[in-house]
Structures are given as structure tokens and as C-alpha cells.
A and B are shown apart, each in its own frame.
Chain A
């Protein structure tokens, strides 16, 4: 009769993390979802079920803003996927080239914007692109391309793309670093074996390295997705809570902020705000699930 002793130390060691995480993440998350099921009528909180979501999706006043924000969010994400990640991979491939000089310097220089605050990035780029004091118009003028300059952040058709590219500039260091790390783990022998078979240079990248770093690219994509759908800071810092011009840069984060906390004469509505937060949570959850079950499980892994 030698029953295994209950291993208390596991509970003891897990407890701090579980307690802290529950208090600051899990409880607020579920409380926000709960809040979305209530509404305020005459100073008291009333349970209304899914009515807030119904308003959000079907009342034209709300749904128009919601779909606009969601569409903008997808565009924001698409630009990151099409610009940030390929550039990050290309930079990592260049940096991992053994004969590149000063690669440590380039690596740091490209990574530095990532550690800057959104407020600094937003402010600095607003100044750079300012039609009045900015260096962008004078630089374009110097090469005779002044006609290409437009007040990008103030035009409905360009503002969101401009902000997405600013965000790409800020965060391109992250995919670069992750891919760079993945590239470094590829053993020299494999590349040498390929070389013997006549696979060198660019084709070594496409045929050997890229398949081996695909799992990292998958992780980066999902990080980009979550980061972009939770984005708020840069838009708020650069364009304010009303995400102008004419809501063209409004994403789910700014829409949620404006609704939850109110803006100028618009009073805050925590219940509708929570409903938007709930919708954001659902969208991200669905996205992550599609990735985890649809893509990651099918991804082929190689034993190195």
C-alpha cells in the first residue's frame, strides 16, 4: 500500500502565478464579458441579455461604425502581413549572411524603434509628415518630387495606410529578430549538404531555409494578428479618439475606447463598450483558433 504522496509543492509553486494572473487577467476578462450583458436604465444596472450585441450588429448607427472599424482593422492587418513580415524575413536573411559586415549595428538600428513608446513614434512621425514643419515635404522637394507630397495623415484615402506603414516601421524588428534566431538554428551541415547537391545562394534560401523557418513565420503571423486587432495606441496618439479624418482610421480599439469612456460631450457607456470589447475578443479568438487547428497542426516539422 504505497499510495503516491500528493505533491503539494506543485500547487505552492503554481499558486503565485495563477493568483496574480486570475486577478489581473482572467477575472477582468470575464467581468467585461458579463458587463456586456447589462445596460443602464435610470441609474441602475439591468440585465438585458444579448441586446447590446444586437444593437452593435444590427442598429444602423452602431453597425455602420462597427463594420467600418472592423474593415479598417483588416486593412491594418493586411498591410502588416504584406509589408512588415516579408521585409522582416528579407532583413533576417540578409543579416544572417556570413559575409555581411556591421550586421550587429544594422540589427540594433532596425530593432530600436520597437522599444520606443507609441506616443513618441506617433508624435515624431506626425512631425516628419507635417506639411508645415515636416522634413518629408522638404526632402521630396530636394529631389524634385514635391508634387508627390500630400498631407497624408489628413486625407481619408491615405491616412490609415500611412499609419499602418508607420506601425510597420516601428515593429519590423520583431519578425526580423524571430526569423533571424530561427535561421541561426539551421545547422551548417544541411546547407553544406545542399551545396554539394548544387543548391546555393538564393535557391538555398527558398528550398532549404524557408521551409525550415515556416513554423516561425506562422508564429509571427498570429502575433501580428493579435497585436493588430488589439491595436489602439498609435491611432490614438496620432489621430485622437475620434480617429479622423471622418473615421477613416477608426479601428476596433479606438471605437471601444470612445464608447466605453466617452468623448467630449459623448458620455461613456461601459455596457456598449464591453460589448465591443467582447466582439474584439471573439474575433481574435476565432482567428487564433483557425490558426491553431487549421494551420499549425498541418504544418510539417523537420527534425534537425
Chain B
């Protein structure tokens, strides 16, 4: 009897002791990736919590289009989460300069990333890093393999082959050649202009020259992609002017279209929705044998809210995000978001593997308008959306568009004045 009560008493004290030790800290992550909610909840967060008992993580995403506005309001009001998912370049730089993001340069795990990977979340002089790079997305084209086999089309590698393939698909009439619309505007710029463009302006070479003011948006390298886009219009579906982004996704996954100008982030969605074989090809080069360039865009990072009440827990999480373990989980949980960590990660998804393989064959660059050039008014990125749509609709000539964009950029950007 006595023994039993002693045992119970001992058990009781241990329970009290452990619960006192495990005073759980909860950290919250702000994000715009509401599509990934289940992946975070089922895979990423449990893996972290298993490795770091005592820290609980909450992933609280908002809608992508509203994220920046919501986040800014929350930060100003002091109600934002401990960890902030970072948009690349100026949006996050502004947050750092306003004192909302912590300087992470001293965090040891940052050495797992190359300078290019870190460039999207650094001050202009590269001295301070304020977000841990998580992933990049690669642009190209996803195609319906069954449709290509049925029509006997080979995967195009040059632009001539690309348009020959489109002609063949259009002539046959079973499939809409290109699944894209202009209603939401951004696809035309992101999956159109910045997808095919790097082959024209030679990736980083042209992009850097534009930033330095050595090239202008009126140069052939920057207007020619609009001329190519103008040819897309006739291959897009009926009423593409009012076709939205989700419309395009659905048309493609329902098997009604042959080619989808894509960002790699589509992979996981397409895998679950499409019941046909998919393949991917990189943006076709202008002439056979040209060096190929791809847009391998640093897209997601994660930083620490300077006002967090749990800096240790947040830092633990960031160090884990920088580790190869996270890269492995993340890269495979979200095929199409390619980890930026220097340690190579083995991807399982065939489509993702195919796309990430382009990194070995082609030169990588990022979207032309993202670094520095979209700082002023008018905003070059927003203007590029409108210009790409106008090019596809044939509303304006490539030269007119180039002149307009150049005028807007020159109005505030000193190297172009």
C-alpha cells in the first residue's frame, strides 16, 4: 500500500516537473502560400517539432494578392507573427529598413547558401542578409505528352520548332495550343515575357547591364520578346482576353490544351489534377545551338520579425530551415519549389527533376524587373504586366511598348537619365 502511494507521488512530481520544463513556445509564421497549408501542417511542421521539442509552430497564410498589404498592416500594428515569409527584393528590403526584420548575417547556417541565392534578401551593398533563402521557381513550358504523341509532335527546342508545333496543334483543332489568358495580366509578364526573355537579353548579362544603364528597354534584346509574344495571341483559346489564371490551369489539367507556359510552382497542383502524362521543355532558343537561359527566380525566403517575443525559438527554426534536412523535406513536399541550399537535394518527382535539370544545361537568371528597377513610380513590374498583355493583344507594337517602358524607367532611375 505504502509503496504504491509513494510510486504515485513520485509519478506525480515527475509529471509536474516535465510539464514545467515543456512550457511550450509557440511561434507563428506569416506566409502567402495558402496553397501549401496542408504540406506545412502534415510534413514540415511535424518534422521540425519532432526534432525540437518544446517549440510549437503555427503556419498562418493569407491570400497571395493580399499578403503584402496584410503583412504591412500587421507589422505596423504589432500583431504580426514571429517569422515572416519574405518576398524577394524590395518588399523585404523595405521591411528590413523599417526595422521589422532582424539582421541574420551572423546566423551560422547562412553559409549553406550561395551569394546568388542570398542576393534577393540583402541590402544593395550585400553587407546584411535578413532572410534565409527557401526556394526558387523555374520558368518554362509544361506540355501534355499524350497530346504531343497523338499529334506526332516532337518537343521543340528552337523558336521555329515551337511555332511549327503550335501551328500543327491549331490545325488539328483538338487542343487549344497555348493555355494562357490575359485577364489577370501577370501571367503575360511572368510566364510570357520573363519566361522567354532571358534567351534574348542573355540572362544575367543583359539584366545587370539594364540595371547599370548600359542597355535600354528600347534595345532589340528587350523589345524582341514582345514581338514573339504578339505571335502567341492567335494560339490562345477563344476569349482569352477574359480568361483568368485559374481558368488556364483548369483548361490545361482537363486536357483541353497542349502547352502551358508555366512556373515550376504548378507541378504539385498539376500532378493531383491532370490524368495524362506531362512533360516540360525549357524556353526555346532563337537559333539552334544558342546558349539557353532560364529564369530561376529566387522567390521565397523566411526572416524573423524584429518585434518577436520568442527570438531563440524563431532562430532555432531559421537555422533548421537553412539545414539540408529542411531542403530535402521542402523540395520533395513541394515539387517545383527548388531549394536554394548549396547541398544538392535528390528530388523524387519526375517533372520537378526534369525542370531542375535545366540548371546544369542553361545559364540561370532571375526576373528582369525584380531587383532595384521596380523601386520607383511608375512601377516597372506593373508596367511590364500591362505591356505584355498589350503585346499579346496586338494593341501596341513592340517598339512603342519599349519606348513607353523606357520613358517610365528613365523618369526616376538615375542610371537611365
Contact = CB atoms under 8 A, between A and B. Distances in A.
Contact of A262 (B69, B185, B186, B411): B69
A137 B374 CA distance: 40
Q: Most chain-A CB neighbours within 10 Å: which of B73, B377, B411?
A: B377
B90 A267 contact: yes
Given A245-B185, A262-B72, A131 B239 contact: yes
A14 to B, nearest CB: 31
Interface stretch (B242-250, B292-300, B349-357): B242-250
Contact of A154 (B90, B240, B385): B240
Interface in A211-258: 239-242, 244-247
Nearest to A137: B239
B334 interface: no
Nearest to B412: A61
A130 interface: yes
Nearest to B396: A246
A265 B381 contact: yes
A260 to B, nearest CB: 8
Interface stretch (B105-113, B123-131, B176-184, B279-287): B176-184
Interface string B231-256: 00000011111111001000100000
A151 B239 contact: yes
B242 A129 contact: yes
A133 interface: yes
Contacts of B94: 267
Contacts of A239: 183
Interface in A132-186: 132-133, 137, 149-156
B387 to A, nearest CB: 10
A268 interface: yes
Contacts, number: 110
B89 interface: yes
B148 interface: no
Contacts of B181: 154
B68 A131 contact: no
B243 A154 contact: yes
B379 interface: yes
Given A61-B378, A155-B241, A265-B370, A245 B65 contact: no
A126 interface: yes
A31 interface: no
Q: Most chain-B CB neighbours within 10 Å: which of A130, A152, A239?
A: A130
A137 B237 CA distance: 14
A31 to B, nearest CB: 14
Contacts of A155: 241-242
Interface in B383-398: 385-386, 389-390, 395
Contacts of B238: 131-132
Contacts of A133: 247
Contacts of B374: 265-266
Contact of B251 (A132, A264, A268): A132
Interface string A43-70: 1000000000000000001100000000
Given A245-B185, A265-B91, A267-B90, A154 B242 contact: yes
A244 B395 CA distance: 14
A154 B182 contact: yes
B289 to A, nearest CB: 35
B369 interface: yes
A268 B66 CA distance: 12
Contacts of B185: 240, 242, 244-245
B102 to A, nearest CB: 17
A241 B241 contact: no
A267 B389 CA distance: 22
B314 to A, nearest CB: 24
Interface in A248-299: 261-268
B77 interface: no
A245 B378 contact: no
Interface in B259-316: none
B382 A264 contact: yes
A246 B186 contact: no
Contact of B386 (A137, A246, A266): A246
A61 B390 CA distance: 19
B408 interface: yes
B207 to A, nearest CB: 15
Nearest to A268: B72
Contacts of B378: 61
Contact of A265 (B69, B98, B379): B379
Nearest to A269: B377
B68 A268 contact: yes
Nearest to A156: B395
A262 B75 CA distance: 15
Contact of B243 (A132, A261, A262): A132
A115 B414 CA distance: 52
B97 interface: yes
A271 to B, nearest CB: 12
Contacts of B237: 131-132
A131 B91 CA distance: 36
Q: Most chain-A CB neighbours within 10 Å: which of B68, B181, B389?
A: B68
Interface of B: 65, 68-69, 72-73, 89-91, 94, 97-98, 181-186, 237-244, 247, 251, 369-370, 374, 377-379, 381-382, 385-386, 389-390, 395, 408, 411
25 contacts: A61-B377, A126-B244, A130-B242, A131-B242, A132-B237, A132-B251, A151-B242, A152-B242, A154-B243, A240-B65, A240-B184, A240-B185, A242-B185, A242-B382, A244-B182, A244-B184, A246-B390, A246-B395, A247-B386, A263-B68, A263-B382, A264-B379, A265-B91, A265-B379, A268-B72
Interface of A: 43, 61-62, 126, 129-133, 137, 149-156, 239-242, 244-247, 261-268
Please provide the 7 A-B residue pairs with the shortest distance between their CB atoms, ordered closest to farther.
Answer: A131-B239, A154-B241, A154-B242, A151-B242, A261-B69, A151-B239, A266-B379
